[in-house]
Amino acid sequence: MKIQRTNSYNAYKNKNSFKGLIPLEQLKELAARKTPEAKKLLNSCVGFNAMYRGAENLNPDRITREMADKFQIYTDFANNPIVAACSALTANIFHKLGFVQPTNILVKDLRGTGYTKTLAFCTISPSNYELFRKFGEDFPIRSVIINEAKNWDNLQKNMLRDKQENYLSTGHFLAPFIHEFIHSAHLDNLMKKHGNGTKIMRKMLKDFKNEDTIALIKKETSEYGSTKPVEMVAEEMTELIVESLSPKTLMPNEMIFKMQRAKEPFQMDVLIDACWSGDVKKIEQFRKKKNKFLEFIQRLNG
Ligand SMILES: [Zn+2]
């Protein structure tokens, strides 16, 4: 049993080429820019390199045992030490901030499903046809599913690109993990409040149609956040958590997290609260396309 595990671990180790390390020249270039945004990216790159080097000597099976003992999360990392390291860091962050943890973290080859291009996602209902068709089983609700077929070595490089294009709210390498963990915590909150959280969450999967709302979210958060209420919350909360991380330890500072939250523009604050608590009526006011004719009539009456 033990020999087998060592063998499979070594097989992965040989695959690790360190191509994903952010080179010194790029770190220097970020440092020279001296903007707050570049400073944040530099901190993430330095953290990523440390995590990436550490992953070489990391045994994913050990992380699995620790995650079960400490957080009661069932994990299967499919021997991927990068995913194991990032998941453990994220679980520690969530523990410190008092957020509910996901039920499972499962690394799966998603080729041939509707999730081929997805880096990771969170299951929001107890059954999912796409997953059942490929794996012949259902995964528990609030599982974070990680796409094994993606190149996780390039995680930081891809995040730098996505942030540069304002597609995502932050270029931090832990952001994809924090984002999915937030979906799970959000759903847990809805389930506690409304019973059937899935039903409410589905309503938040409808695209934003209101141009003012879309513009506000694009400015405050990211393009991806401006697609749907559920993504707005995940992107916004991810940014707030990342901003509160110590660059050295990658642990959050709860006070900074709360302070950043308090600094949100009023409209954004209202929308985040409405989404987090599942106030569908309020969300719809932000989401729906403005009815120009109705506004005209209301102005006449008002
Ligand atoms: Zn998402």
Residue 83 has which token pair?
A: 């995913």
Q: Please say if the pLDDT value at position 284 is more than 60.
A: yes
Cα of 43 to ligand 1 centre, how many Å?
24
Rounded CA-CA distance 210/22 in Å is: 39
Ligand 1 centroid distance, CA of 7 (Å)? 35
More confident residue, 105 or 196: 105
Return the structure tokens found at 116: 């081929």
The one-letter amino acid code at 36 reads P
Q: Is the pLDDT of residue 98 over 50?
A: yes
Residue 10's Cβ-count burial label (10 Å; 0-12, 13-18, 19+) is exposed
Instruction: Express each pLDDT in 185-214 by its tens digit.
Output: 999 999 999 998 999 999 999 999 999 999
The pLDDT assigned to 302 comes to: 64
Ligand 1 centre distance from Cα of residue 189 (Å) = 16
Q: How far is the CA of 139 from the centre of ligand 1 (A)?
A: 18
Tens-digit pLDDT profile for residues 16-30: 567 889 999 999 999
Distance 120 CA to ligand 1 centre (A): 8
Output the DSSP codes for 109-167: --TTSTTTT-SEEE--SS--HHHHHHHSSPPPTTEEEEETTS-GGGHHHHHHHHHHTTS
Q: Ligand 1 mean position to 69 CA, how many Å? A: 27
pLDDT at 297: 73
206 three-state secondary structure:
coil
List C-alpha distances in Å: 88 to 85, 101, 128.
5, 11, 26
Distance 118 CA to ligand 1 centre (A): 10
CA of 24 to the centre of ligand 1 (A): 32
The proportion of the chain whose per-residue pLDDT surpasses 70, expressed as a percent, equals 93
Neighbours of ion ligand 1 (CB under 5 A): 231, 234
% of the chain beyond a pLDDT of 90: 84
Rounded to the nearest whole angstrom, what is the distance from the C-alpha of residue 22 to the centroid of ligand 1? 26
pLDDT in tens, 136-153: 999 999 999 999 999 999
- As a whole number, the mean pLDDT across the chain is 91
pLDDT confidence bin for 1, thresholds 50/70/90: very low
Q: What is the pLDDT of residue 84?
A: 98
Q: Which two tokens stand for residue 67?
A: 């995650």
Helix (H/G/I), strand (E/B), else coil: 108: strand
Query: Cα of 225 to ligand 1 centre, how many Å?
Result: 8
Separation of CA 230 and ligand 1 centre (Å) = 7
The mean pLDDT of 49-58, rounded to a whole number, is: 94
- State the distance from the centre of ligand 1 to the C-alpha of 184, rounded, in angstroms: 10
d(CA 247, CA 86): 15
> Which residue ranges make up each domain of the chain?
14-287
Residue of 293 and 75 predicted with greater confidence: 75
How remote is the CA of residue 231 from the centroid of ligand 1, in Å? 5
Using the mean position of ligand 1's atoms as its centre, give its distance from the Cα of residue 179 in Å: 6
